[in-house]
Homo-oligomer: A and B are copies of this chain.
Amino acid sequence: MESTLYFGGLLIKSIAFLGPKGTFTHEVASFLGENLFSYCSIPSVLKAVENGECDLGVVPIENSIEGPVGITLDLLVHSKLYIQGEIVLPISHNLITKRDCEIHDIKYVYSHPQALAQCQSYLENRGLKPLFTLSTAAAVKLVVERNDSAAIGTLKAAQLYDLNILDKNIQDTDNNKTRFIILSKDFGLKSENNKTSILFETYQDSPGELYHILGFFANNNINLTKIESRPSKEGLGKYIFFLDFEGHKNDKVVKDILDKTRTKTSIMKVLGSYPSL
């Protein structure tokens, strides 16, 4: 049965997401449709959309505690896809074990490094040893056969493997949210409230130039909602900046700012305009 959901005016046929099943990205992709395809890495999600295997791709881009997802930002530098939308998901971590396990049986806790980092105090206070896996879902799958280990993962993953939730909301802070982006080959149409994402690399004297570029936005009262630096991989102290701001690429004031920004940068790329949350 083919899904007939629409997103940004497009009929959604198929959605690639960062798997395996039971991850937070799976949860987000489920909001968009039913025709979901799991891919094992962020680069392979982007590739699936680029080569037409899927119509949309869903990947995480930043977490309010851990910061940016470096590989997503790095891939956007060279990708031909556009950001069509964003979804922010509150992250709640659960301690998951086999049905017959109790807390005093547990010595090891498996999960993705970022999930372990977000539950560090909880683990330290209970003397539990963290061990890395490639995803939270992989961790949950692994504890199906362990009596001395728990996994940190989603409710969805616990259901998938018929496991027990030993403890809920074990993250260190309650401000834990992850922002996911929805990627497609098409540039987003203008809606009522828009947001635009760009990246750029300044010439030599990077931070001084950044000041001038931020001035283009400040002087036009365009509010920035995000600024992030990533190493440009050309040496320490050289950065690519990622900016999100209010407005659509086709708004006159935005067009003017982008034209001025181009004169101050060696690389400037519009990553997408999409409805702001």
Contact surface of A with B, Cβ cutoff 8 Å: 62-68, 70-71, 88, 113, 117, 132-134, 173, 175, 177, 179, 205-208, 210-212, 214-215, 217-218, 223-231, 233-237, 239, 243
Contact = CB atoms under 8 A, between A and B. Distances in A.
Given A70-B66, A88-B236, A229 B231 contact: no
Contact of A132 (B65, B134, B210, B235): B134
B236 A65 contact: no
A70 B67 contact: yes
Give chain A's interface secondary structure class: mixed
Copies of this chain, count: 2
A235 B177 contact: yes
A213 B88 CA distance: 30
A175 B132 contact: no
Contact of A208 (B64, B70, B223, B231): B223
> What are the 10 tightest A-B residue pairs by CB atom distance, in nearest-first order?
A207-B224, A132-B132, A211-B214, A211-B218, A207-B227, A64-B236, A67-B231, A225-B237, A64-B231, A65-B233
B211 A223 contact: no
A175 B234 contact: yes
B224 A215 contact: no
A230 B66 CA distance: 8
Given A206-B224, A212-B218, A227-B239, 10 more contacts: A65-B233, A66-B231, A67-B231, A132-B132, A175-B234, A206-B227, A207-B225, A208-B224, A211-B214, A211-B217
A65 B211 contact: no
A257 B71 CA distance: 35
24 contacts: A62-B231, A63-B231, A64-B234, A66-B70, A66-B231, A67-B230, A71-B117, A113-B113, A113-B132, A132-B132, A132-B133, A132-B134, A175-B234, A175-B235, A177-B235, A179-B236, A205-B223, A207-B223, A207-B224, A208-B214, A210-B227, A211-B211, A211-B217, A212-B218
A104 to B, nearest CB: 24
Contact of A214 (B68, B179, B207, B234): B207
Nearest to A227: B207
